[in-house]
Amino acid sequence: MTATKATRKPIWQYGDCELNDRDFAMAMVHLYRAEVTRANVWRNRLDTTTNWAVVTVGAALTFVFSSPTNPHFIVLLVLLLVLTFMLIEARRYSYYALWYHRVRLLETGFLSPMIVPPYAPAEHWGEALADTLRHPTFPIPRWRAAANRYRRNYVWLVSLLLISWFLKLSIHPITALRLHQVVDRAAIGAWVPGGWVVGIVAFIYVALLGLIIAMYAIPYQQEGRPRAYFTPLEGEPLKADEAQMAIIVTNRRDEISARLMQELQRGVTAVRGTGMYTGTARDVLFCALSRAQEAQLRTIVTESDPTSFVILTGARDLRGRGFVPTEPPS
């Protein structure tokens, strides 16, 4: 053990084992590599399920249209199989979102502050990471994961199957001249009339479209500070670099605004305010930023105007350029 390492105060101790700051950084690097590997593994599994669905659809359509006597309900069976693949992929996407969430916590809370001195990790990032390690929770509900996969991939496969099914009913065994003929041909044997089959298929398609609409219509609910960056209602994550709103009361508006826009690459809005206690007119700056940029903002404001008044608060619903809804890339 070197003299420098011997004098470094340990930050963790268990029995004869000690962990200093250098060891801590090394442990975080290995954890980051492990989480990236797991995220990549589950990301590749998403492609595998999609490939199964594409191959199945291609083989089924080739068989159905190869002969006028081949039954049309093969397309419906393949439709059910494709939806099963979608549910399997939704489950895999939920796991992928969990590992991706941990990766983003490490990137934005631990690694990104190293790039922008002074090093000051985002508040509560350690608690958030420790909580998701102790109590793994899917950050995306299963229904929203299914909606995501349907919107990204399966809407095209399902639409192709339904169009092909309509064409099959229209041209085989002979071309249908009336719509009611197409509906009658949709019957499955003597047990299920064509009208019932068409109605069930239409209901499934509309329900899937409703799933996509619900994904956009139901926002992520935020009530108070979410535990470990997870909301208490649906378990949805905030962005790992959770959006913050900075309110700065200062007499040096131009200097602080210029530095925030240049160094943080964030927009600033200025309004004129009056201190009701002193009656002094001062400028109030509003700036939306990420958690990882909090320390840099404090440094900029302190250096530019030590007498300024700063409020940092969480932004519940922040939309616009530079802030997008949380969704693991896929």
What does the H/E/C string look like for 59-73? HHHHHHCCCCCCCCH
Nearest to 214 by CA among 222, 202, 206, 224: 206
Nearest to 37 by CA among 105, 93, 96: 96
Structure tokens at 263: 């160094």
Higher pLDDT, 308 or 13: 308
Cis peptide bond upstream of 10, omega within 30: no
Side chain identity at 280, as an amino acid letter? T
pLDDT at 291: 72
Query: 3-state DSSP call for residue 112?
Result: helix
The structural domains of the chain, ordered by start, are 3-217 (no CATH), 243-314 (3.30.70.120)
State whether the Cα torsion 40-41-44-45 is positive or negative: negative
At 172-198, the pLDDT tens digits run 888 888 888 888 888 988 888 989 999
DSSP assignment of 145-156 equals HHHHHIIIIIHH
Structure tokens at 265: 């690459």
pLDDT at 12: 64
> How many beta carbons lie within 10 A of that of residue 273, not counting itself?
12
Burial of residue 46, with CB atoms counted within 10 A of its CB: 0-12 exposed, 13-18 middle, 19 or more buried:
buried
Contacts of residue 156, defined as CB under 8 A and 6 or more positions apart, other chains included, come to none
Q: Considering just the CA atoms, what is the radius of gyration of the chain in Å? A: 28
Nearest to 132 by CA among 92, 90, 91, 104: 104
DSSP category for residue 263: I
pLDDT at 292: 67
pLDDT at 226: 36
Higher pLDDT, 148 or 289: 148
At 205-217, the pLDDT tens digits run 999 999 999 888 8
DSSP category for residue 127: H
Query: Which band of pLDDT confidence, cut at 50, 70 and 90, is reported for residue 56?
Result: very high
Nearest to 106 by CA among 80, 129, 86: 129
Element (H, E) at 290: strand 281-290
Q: What percent of the chain has pLDDT over 70?
A: 81
**Mean pLDDT (the chain, rounded):** 81
- C-beta separation of 241 from 108 below 8 A: yes
Higher pLDDT, 223 or 52: 52
Element (H, E) at 119: none
Higher pLDDT, 19 or 260: 260
